[in-house]
Amino acid sequence: MASSSGGSAVDAVVLVGGKGTRLRPLTLSAPKPMLPTAGVPFLAHLLSRIRAAGIEHVVLGTSYQAEVFEKHFGDGAEFGLELEYVVEDQPLDTGGAIRNVYDRLRADDVMIFNGDILSGTDIGALLATHRRSGADVTLHLQRVADPSRFGSVPTDADGRVTAFLEKTPNPPTDQVNAGCYVFRREVVGGIPAGRRVSVERETFPGLLEAGAHVHGFVDDSYWLDVGTPETFVRGSADLVQGAAPTSALPGPAGGALLLTGASVADDAEVTGGTTVGADAVVRSGARVDGSVLFDGAVVEPGAVVERSVLGVGSRVGEGAVLRDVVLGDGASVGAGCELLDGARVWPDVDLPPGAIRFSSDA
C-alpha cells in the first residue's frame, strides 16, 4: 500500500481534541484517543495504519489534556513518523480544527482523520482516487446498514458528491460520512480561521455551492465510531481478534490479550477478545468475555464480566455480575453485586455487597 500513497507527498492530520464525554468516567483521567484499546492507546492503532500507508508527517490537532499526547508519542521517531502538535485554545469544531493546523502543512494533499474512528479502509486507494479524480476534497463514504442514524451523502455516476443531507427516516442512499477526508492544501487555507467551523454544515455544502469538485470514495470495509462504551469495548475486542486492522497490537491476534504481569487463574475463562491489562488479575472461576481490563484491575473468584470496561486499579467482588458496565479508575464493586445495561461507576466509588444497579451512574 505504501507505493500508492506517495509517501511524503501527503500530510496526515489527526483530530484528537474532543473531551470524550460519552465515555465518562474513563475520559476523566485520559483523552479518548489515549484510552488503552487492545493493549495500547487507541491512537497508536490509527498511527500504525497511517505509517503502513507510507505517510510519515503527521500533525495532531489537540485540545483536551493536550500534553498527554506528546508525552506518550514524542516526536514520533519510535513509530517511524514525524509528529507535530497543534493545540486549540478554544473549541473550533472539525473545520476550524483542520484550519488551525494549516501552517504546519507541507504537501499538496492532506489526509484528515478523526481520532475516534476505527477503520479498515484502504488509505492508499482513497488517496489515489482523490488524485485520479482531480477533486478539491474527497470524502471516505461508508455504506451502513441503517443510514437513518446518520446524515447521508449521495454521489452521482461519476462519484461526485451531490448533497449533504441531515438525518432522515428514509435517506436516499446508504452512504454516510465516515470521518476521513483528503483536502487539497489550498482548500484548507480557505476555511475561516479562528472560529468554530463545521465541515458538514458549512465547509462541504459551501464547496458544493461554489462549484468545487467534492468526490466520494465509497467503501464497505470495517468501520466503527468508538465514542461510546459499547463501541469502545467492541472495537478493542475486534482489534484483539483480528477483525479490525492494526500493526500496533502488542501480541498475536486471538481470543484474548494478556499484557505484562497479567494473571489469569487456570480455571477462569477469558474470551471474546478481552484485554487483561498489565498486572491485572482474574481469579479462580471468574468469567470475562469481550471486555477491557485496564492495568491493575482485579476480578475476584466467580465473578462474571461481559462487554464491560474496568478502569485502572478497579475491583469486581466475588460472585458479582457486570454486563455492559463501565467502572472508573479505583472503583470497587462489592461481592454479589449485579450491574447491568450501561451502569457506570465513577472513580474511587465503593459499591456495597449485593447492590443492584441498572443503567445509572454511581
pLDDT-wise least confident of 88-92, 171-175, 235-239, 349-353: 88-92
pLDDT score for 288: 98
Q: Do the domain assignments include residue 230?
A: no
pLDDT score for 359: 64
pLDDT score for 148: 85
Q: Is the same domain home to 217 and 259?
A: no
pLDDT score for 265: 97
Q: What's the mean pLDDT in 255-264?
A: 96
Residue 8: band (very low, low, confident or very high) from pLDDT cuts 50, 70, 90: very low
Number of domains in the chain: 2
Q: Is the same domain home to 50 and 129?
A: yes
Q: Is the same domain home to 221 and 265?
A: no
Q: Is the same domain home to 272 and 132?
A: no
Q: What's the mean pLDDT in 175-202?
A: 93
The grid coordinates listed for 185 are: 492544501
Q: Is the same domain home to 18 and 151?
A: yes
Q: Is the same domain home to 307 and 221?
A: no
Task: Choose one of 181, 203, 225: the last residue of a domain.
Answer: 225
Q: What's the mean pLDDT in 107-131?
A: 94
Q: What's the mean pLDDT in 229-255?
A: 92
pLDDT score for 240: 97
CATH (domain of 18): 3.90.550.10
Q: Is the peptide bond before 25 cis (omega within 30 degrees of 0)?
A: yes
What 187-191 contacts at long range (C-beta under 8 Å, 24+ apart), as own/partner pairs, is: 187/136, 187/137, 187/212, 188/98, 188/99, 188/102, 188/105, 188/110, 189/99, 189/102, 191/95, 191/96, 191/98, 191/99, 191/102
Domain range holding 343?
255-358
The 3-state DSSP class for residue 59 equals: strand
Q: Do the domain assignments include residue 249?
A: no
Percentage of the chain exceeding pLDDT 90: 70
User: Mind listing the pLDDT tens digit for each residue in 46-83?
Assistant: 999 999 999 999 999 887 677 888 888 989 998 899 99
pLDDT score for 360: 57
CATH (domain of 313): 2.160.10.10
Instruction: Please check the confidence at residue 266 and state whether its pLDDT lies above 90.
Output: yes
Q: Is the same domain home to 64 and 111?
A: yes
Q: What's the mean pLDDT in 226-250?
A: 93
User: Mind listing the pLDDT tens digit for each residue in 294-351?
Assistant: 999 999 999 999 999 999 999 999 999 999 999 999 999 999 999 998 899 999 999 9
The 3-state DSSP class for residue 38 equals: coil
Residue 362: band (very low, low, confident or very high) from pLDDT cuts 50, 70, 90: low
pLDDT score for 281: 98
The grid coordinates listed for 46 are: 490509527
pLDDT score for 2: 36
Please state, rounded to an integer, the average pLDDT across all residues of the chain.
90
Q: Do the domain assignments include residue 242?
A: no
Q: Parallel, antiparallel, or unpaired for β 117-119 and 281-282?
A: unpaired
Task: Choose one of 210, 225, 240: the last residue of a domain.
Answer: 225
pLDDT score for 64: 67
Cβ(114)–Cβ(16) below 8 Å: no
Q: Is the same domain home to 194 and 260?
A: no
CA dist 302 and 318 (Å) reads 6
Q: Is the same domain home to 154 and 278?
A: no
Q: Is the same domain home to 174 and 83?
A: yes
Residue 361: band (very low, low, confident or very high) from pLDDT cuts 50, 70, 90: low
The grid coordinates listed for 255 are: 481470543
pLDDT-wise least confident of 5-9, 97-101, 132-136: 5-9
What 340-347 contacts at long range (C-beta under 8 Å, 24+ apart), as own/partner pairs, is: 342/229, 342/230, 344/24, 344/25, 344/229, 345/25, 346/25, 347/25, 347/28, 347/29, 347/311
Q: Do the domain assignments include residue 204?
A: yes
Q: Is the same domain home to 213 and 259?
A: no
Q: What's the mean pLDDT in 159-180?
A: 89
Q: Do the domain assignments include residue 232?
A: no
Instruction: Please check the confidence at residue 4 and state whether its pLDDT lies above 80.
Output: no
